[in-house]
Amino acid sequence: MLDGVMLLWFLFAAASLLFVAIDIRTTPESPVMKWGFVLLTAYTGVIGAFLYVLGCREPLPGTHEQYTAARWRQTLGSTMHCVAGDGVGILAGAVLASVLGITGPAEMVLEYVLGFAFGWTIFQALFMRDMAGGSYGAALKGTFMSELLSMNLLMAGMMPTMMILRRYIPSADNPLTPNFWFVMSMSLLVGFIVAYPMNWWLVANHLKHGMMTVRPASAGAHDHAAMSGMTHEGSPMPPMSMSMHEAQAPWPSIAVMTVLSFVALAAGFALAVLQAPR
């Protein structure tokens, strides 16, 4: 029965990935977010495609700015951006761990390090450096905390899910089997869900960006862009993810949320160790 479920999952995932990869080309979203939705769909199949249609795809011409302005859609974009970038490093770590024979806590540490490194230095700082005035160093500094908090919650959900499923699904630690990729998909999906509330807080306190709208300068979308706080091509976006607004400090404070994120990470790590296959 499990083989049939996985077969259906991968068939729907392939169709969903093809749809998103083709359709998103006409969506007035930034390139990095487009790549993010493609990667998310590769990880989560039909669920990723559903989130793209529900959260980002322009329902009618000229409405993307208003459509994506809702807080929950902004948070969806923020969480998706985290999972898409971190997921590349996490999957690379899982494959590398299998090749090197690394298991248990050491594997999870490797996945965390590679996931955070890729998500922070590439998907956050490098791809979003224009939001820091074009400075990669400033982008690294400005995105470190938001990436750390989101990554901690992503891993808090992913690690125990991965280890629990590996107890019941044979060969789930072998990247040469479909079982491995199915388990990693389910784990990233749970990580996405667990990371969503933290990203809501980050977006609400202007510590991380959400959806964006990118249109040609001649499209006349200034009014729409102003309504949603987004931008169009030719107008640099304010660095909303680089630093909080000075007028109002985040609540709860960054320090409190940092402690909570590490508590969640520790709890997820402990549960994963307890559930790891013997």
Q: For 73-85, how does the pLDDT look when each residue is reduced to its tens digit (9 = 90+)? A: 999 999 999 999 9
Across the range 250-275, mean pLDDT stands at 97
Whether residue 125 contacts residue 153, with contact meaning beta carbons closer than 8 Å, is answered with: no
Whether residue 35 contacts residue 56, with contact meaning beta carbons closer than 8 Å, is answered with: no
Cα separation of 164 and 212, whole Å?
36
Query: Does 252 sit behind a cis peptide bond, omega within 30 degrees of 0 on the bond before it?
Result: yes
Across the range 147-176, mean pLDDT stands at 97
Tokens of 141: 């500094």
Whether residue 37 contacts residue 80, with contact meaning beta carbons closer than 8 Å, is answered with: yes
Instruction: Report the pLDDT value the prediction gives residue 239, as an integer from 0 to 100.
Output: 43
Question: Which amino acid is present at 226?
Answer: A
Please report which confidence band the pLDDT of residue 218 belongs to, taking 50, 70 and 90 as the band edges. Answer: low
Beta-strand (E) ranges in 69-178? none
pLDDT over 70, % of the chain: 89
Three-state secondary-structure class, residue 79: helix
Tokens of 45: 């199949």
Of 208, 277, 214, residue with least CA distance to 241: 208
Integer-rounded Cα radius of gyration of the chain: 19
Question: Which amino acid is present at 34?
Answer: K
Whether residue 20 contacts residue 49, with contact meaning beta carbons closer than 8 Å, is answered with: yes
Query: Does 277 sit behind a cis peptide bond, omega within 30 degrees of 0 on the bond before it?
Result: no
Across the range 112-127, mean pLDDT stands at 95
Please report which confidence band the pLDDT of residue 266 belongs to, taking 50, 70 and 90 as the band edges. Answer: very high
User: Is pLDDT of 236 > 60?
Assistant: no
pLDDT over 90, % of the chain: 82
Place of tokens 């499209």: 219
Whether residue 227 contacts residue 220, with contact meaning beta carbons closer than 8 Å, is answered with: no
Instruction: Report the pLDDT value the prediction gives residue 278, as an integer from 0 to 100.
Output: 75
Tokens of 194: 């667990």
Task: Tally DSSP H helices, then E strands, for the chain.
Answer: 10, 0
Cα separation of 153 and 181, whole Å?
21
Of 96, 118, 115, residue with least CA distance to 107: 96
Angle, helices 136-168 vs 178-204, to 10°: value is 130
Place of tokens 């400090």: 249
Mean pLDDT, the chain, integer: 90
Across the range 17-34, mean pLDDT stands at 96
